[in-house]
Amino acid sequence: MTNKSTKRSTEQENTSVPNKKLKNDSKPKKLKTTKATSLGKGKTIVKSKGKEITKGKPLPKETAKSRKERKILRKKQNPVFELSVKAKKIWEKLRIQKNRLSAEEKGALVQELMSVVTEHDKKLINLAYAHDTSRVLQTCLKQGNKEQREEIFKELNEHIVHMCKDGYAKNIVWKMLKYGTPEERGHVMKSFNDKAYKLIRHSKSAAIVEYAYNNYATAPQRNGMITQLYGKVFRMCRKSDTDTLSEVLEQEEDKKESILGSFKDALVPLVDKSVVIHTIVHKAFYDFFEHCDIQNIKTELIELLRDSLVHMMHTRDGAHVTMNCLWHGSKKDRKVIVKSMKEFVVKLSCEQFGHLPLLTAFDCVDDTVFLKKALILPIVKALDDLIHNKYGRKVVLYLISPRNSSHFLPETVKSLSKGDDNPTSKKAMEQRYLELSEAASPGIIEYLKPKLQELVFDRSLFVVVETVILRCHGDTSELIEGVLSIADMEFVPGQLGANGKLHIIEDQCGHLLIKMLINAESKAREGDDSSESKFSNQLLKSITAEKLASWSACNRGTQILLSLVKSRDENVSATSKKILLEQRSVLEANASVHSTKILLEKLDS
């Protein structure tokens, strides 16, 4: 018994001291555990690789206190520490009580604050570069009176360019522009003119230049800033500060390639993502493509710019830059640009300018299979969003009825047609349009089928139904039947249906849809006698003679009947006349309706 207890106690001694050599000189076992051992509340020892690390142990109060004291001591070493403490106390009153203070009281506090700066033998610029004191100056500019703002401006105006490059001081320049007088703003703009190129390349100052350019710069001031981005050769060649790029190119024809080459070199650094988002940069790129007719110079810039175009398509100038890159770029350039659009195709489609590069891609990219995968499929999937958006609707309509004057302004068509003679596109435009329409039509038709009841009564969307029925390359018979099933309902003048709308032939949009379809089919017969009047013929077959005649009880209904009678399709015209003559008594009963009276005269002629 004694031997066993002695042996056990010896083992305990050996295991309790792991680094001590054992009697048999064997090596001590290494600690492999990484388990945490709890030592009480807030104290944990983690053993890892033979080391003990204490985690979660709170600092003693004395240590925390001394740390705070050291932090205050470091701050006191700042030359403007005492000034900033006093200034912030006044600022707190001005900031927190701004809604309760009168203009005179605010002015007094601002004056007190400025006096504190003078007492400490410092200048306002000493407060501009710290996150807290810069806000003090911003409040002074906002809450101070005209004289105080002028005093602040006079002291800071020499440092504007340097302040623009600082993360905190730039906000003071922002406030100087916002609350300054026109003369003070003019001085800020003038300081930008000579430094615009360097400032626009700096991520912090670029935002200030952009803000000034878009919100406060006059036309001459804008011109002064933008010309700084035209390159060194341009600035050397122009004879006065008011000379435009086109004037300089006209005056210095022998130096044209040198001017444009220098312009291109100046634009290359602006392709950076943090810079290319600004509208002033978009304007510079736009001016380059508008004036550069040297293909190799354009090609070099397009190759560098193609990946960044998606960041500028949302502005007018940026959209036109993208259009130029699509027109004059190589097949590879076009593919890269279209790929970059893929992720944002729905967003771009719904933008005033962003949708234009999409239309340009439909115009000039020969690889329609690639276009279908990259652009058309995402568009078809998002039809519900696009159809209800003013610009998204144009993108959808362009796929099935491109450059149709009913949907696109002459200015838009003229702008798009600038790229028709581009050197890269080889496929005939009519063939390209046909392939795009065939790719988009099935999805558009399927989308419209269950929504006809809603769309035919919508003043913005009924034209989509009309265009799809007339222009889509696919089976539109179900759409025609859907419209006619709505028209086949019994007509009672002035009576609202279950949907809260008048009968389709009396509705403002519905009657126009039917009339436009009949007239479009009639017009198509002018140059092509073989053109089939699908909708008109189906209408005469589906709607009974009694129901057709009942439409004469309202002016809009009779307008539809007149369109049928006047159709250039002889079969449609003859059939409709025959039906209406058989129902003459009904027409005569409605002769008080002005259009019905005209219809009777037409039938008698």
Question: For 4-44, what is the HEC assignment?
Answer: HHHHHHHHHHHHHCCCCCCCCCCCCCCCCCCCEEECCCCCE
What's the pLDDT score for residue 121? 61
What's the pLDDT score for residue 21? 43
What's the pLDDT score for residue 22? 42
Number of domains forming the structure of the chain: 2
Is residue 329 included in any domain, yes or no? no
Consecutive 10-residue averages of pLDDT for the chain (605 residues): 46 44 46 46 50 54 68 66 79 79 86 80 82 88 90 92 94 94 92 90 92 93 93 91 90 93 95 91 96 94 95 96 96 96 96 97 96 96 95 97 94 95 92 95 96 94 95 92 94 88 94 95 80 90 93 94 94 94 92 93 87
- Give me 192's structure tokens: 């930008």
What's the pLDDT score for residue 100? 81
Contact in structure between 184 and 256 (CB atoms under 8 Å):
no
Among residues 348, 280, 283, the alpha carbon closest in space to that of 314 is found at 348
Contact in structure between 83 and 126 (CB atoms under 8 Å):
yes
The full DSSP string for 356-375 is HHHHHHHHH---HHHHIIII
Is residue 556 included in any domain, yes or no? yes
Instruction: Indicate the residue among 55, 72, 87 that finishes a domain.
Output: 55
Is residue 108 included in any domain, yes or no? no
Is residue 279 included in any domain, yes or no? no
Instruction: Please count the other Cβ atoms lying within 10 Å of the Cβ belonging to residue 452.
Output: 18
Domain with 522 in it: 476-604
What's the pLDDT score for residue 61? 56
Q: How far apart are CA 215 and CA 213, in angstroms?
A: 6
Is residue 480 included in any domain, yes or no? yes
Is residue 564 included in any domain, yes or no? yes
- Give me 486's structure tokens: 């709505």
The full DSSP string for 291-359 is H---HHHHHHHHHHHTTTGGGTTTSHHHHHHHHHHHHHS-HHHHHHHHHHHHTTHHHHHTSTTTHHHHH
Instruction: Indicate the residue among 40, 55, 70 that finishes a domain.
Output: 55
Distances (CA, A) of 379 to 37, 394, 413, 582, 591: 60, 12, 21, 49, 49
What's the pLDDT score for residue 241? 83
What's the pLDDT score for residue 59? 55
Is residue 386 included in any domain, yes or no? no
What's the pLDDT score for residue 92? 84
Instruction: Indicate the residue among 32, 55, 78 that finishes a domain.
Output: 55
What's the pLDDT score for residue 379? 97
What's the pLDDT score for residue 72? 66
- Give me 119's structure tokens: 């007492």
What's the pLDDT score for residue 7? 45
Q: How far apart are CA 26 and CA 292, in angstroms?
A: 86
Taking the model in full, what pTM does it have?
0.82
Is residue 375 included in any domain, yes or no? no
